Structure 1
Amino acid sequence: MKTLKILGAAAAVAAFVSFSNAADAAVIDFTSSTQFPSINAQPLTGSVHGRSFQVTSQPGGSVFGTDGINAGKCSGLSLACDRDGLGVSNDEIDGDRESITIEFSSLINVVEFYVLDLFTSRNGRNQEVGSYRTFDGTTWSNLIDFTADSNEVVNSGDIGFLAVAVNLPVKAIEWSYSGANDNVGVGDYAVAGLAVTPLPAAAWFLLTGLGGLAGMRWLRKDRAADAA
């Protein structure tokens, strides 16, 4: 019975951690002229949840660019949509040697990120594709592709919005060009922002402690059975 109570408490803490993370989510919004009055500078810097970050682009020395979007299409999104977001040299990532990286001073949980100008062709046969990878402080992950929403149609007044779930602790994340084409223009997109939460270190320590208590109880039961 005590073991069940311990496991129940652990589950409750885990649920609390999940709820707290959702409640504590903050959006780094590159489309916001309030958060980032000027984005034509390198590195672009800021802070969130007690961590500093900087954003750079490749090739080195290039500047971020932006253009206007149909802000009316942003209703219901977690973005200001004063601008498209971040691109390289011009208003988007549109070449196989171009990338944008955000690096944090310490690990942070990336819930999801947002891109704009990622479209599906009018005939629905082709979708633009971007790529990203994450860095955990030791190694980079493999590239992961993300594909335009089929409802975000090029030259239709849509904004090419896509939210991509990550849900990982990361030290850095990099976005790059995949080379895919939408049958209208090059496969390109703008990095609009990302939602992040602090790592719940104290809660995980509590979970570890509860797990240890459960393990000790099982060990004592095993020893008692052996003695009998």
Structure 2
Amino acid sequence: MATDTNHGSSLAFSSGGVSGTITAELTGIGSGMASPAIIEEVGDGLGIRSSWIDPDDDIDSEGFEETMVFTFDRVVQLDFITFGDVDSDDDWTISVNGTTVNSQSDPFYFSNYFSNIWADTFTVSAFRDGLLGLNADDSFTIQSFGASVVPLPAAAWFLLTAVGGLFGGRWLRGSRGAAAA
């Protein structure tokens, strides 16, 4: 049996040039009076333990609405999320750049749902009301997510090359004038 690891209300990560923080948040009636949400690492992924009302370590919104916030140190390209401990009646809400999608896709590929997948934050939430009209007993974890460093756009390389060409041309003209004198 896997041992649960308590990470407090936030967890730092870094891999492949992508780094940031994962934070657990609670919303809903009475959430301001609750003890801070705790990120729990269990055998099937990361979950949230929200209070004594909800000792479960999945993202399940028992007691309070639970949200896991992924914040990156810079803008990244969001690739995918995989979920753990998923049942057929689980559904989740994913938000990026002010756009929200309700889904049951596992793995969840950002490019299938969002037109702009460059962001510095995204959230994954479970709510008590059965978002897709299904049974309201959501209970899942985040197994993994993929994000890539955003490459310097081709237009920026073109601009740098053009500026370099201008300075190179001035340098060549300057050296020719000195040689002729």
Give, in whole Å, the separation in 1 of the partners of 2:108 and 2:101.
11
| 1:118–1:53 CA distance, 2 compared to 1 (3 A) | same
Asked if 1:200 corresponds to 2:166, the answer is: no
Asked if 1:100 corresponds to 2:68, the answer is: yes
Matched residues, number: 135
Matches within 5 A, 1:100-119: 100-119=68-87
The alignment's TM-score, normalised by the length of structure 2, stands at 0.63
- Find 1:63's aligned residue among 38, 42, 48: 38
Structure number with the bigger relative contact order (C-alpha 8 A, sep ≥ 6) is: 1
Structure 1: unaligned runs, 5 residues or longer: 1-32, 68-82, 121-126, 136-140, 149-161, 211-228
Give, in whole Å, the separation in 1 of the partners of 2:99 and 2:149.
24
Matches within 5 A, 1:31-180: 38-59=5-26, 61-67=36-42, 83-89=43-49, 90-95=56-61, 97-120=65-88, 127-135=89-97, 141-147=98-104, 162-167=106-111, 168-178=117-127, 179-180=129-130
Give, in whole Å, the separation in 2 of the partners of 1:198 and 1:66.
25
| 1:57–1:201 CA distance, 2 compared to 1 (3 A) | same
| 8 Å Cα contact 1:119-1:182 kept in structure 2 | no
Give, in whole Å, the separation in 1 of the partners of 2:40 and 2:25.
13
Identical columns (%)? 14
Please say which of residues 44-53 and 102-111 is displaced more in the overlay. 44-53
Give, in whole Å, the separation in 1 of the partners of 2:17 and 2:23.
20
Give, in whole Å, the separation in 2 of the partners of 1:66 and 1:175.
16
**Secondary structure, in 3 states, of the residue corresponding to 1:88?**
strand
> CA offsets per residue over residues 18-55 of structure 1, 9 Å max, x none?
xxxxxxxxxxxxxxx9xxx9453232002234343011
Cα RMSD (Å): 2.9
Give, in whole Å, the separation in 2 of the partners of 1:42 and 1:201.
34
Following TM superposition, by how much is the alpha carbon of 1:203 offset from its aligned partner in structure 2, in angstroms? 3.9
Give, in whole Å, the separation in 2 of the partners of 1:102 and 1:145.
17
The alignment's TM-score, normalised by the length of structure 1, stands at 0.51
| 1:128–1:208 CA distance, 2 compared to 1 (3 A) | farther
Between structures 1 and 2, the one with greater strand share: 2
| 8 Å Cα contact 2:60-2:126 kept in structure 1 | yes
| 1:208–1:188 CA distance, 2 compared to 1 (3 A) | farther
> CA offsets per residue over residues 166-191 of structure 1, 9 Å max, x none?
141110111111432755x7122111
| 8 Å Cα contact 2:23-2:70 kept in structure 1 | yes
Give, in whole Å, the separation in 1 of the partners of 2:158 and 2:146.
25
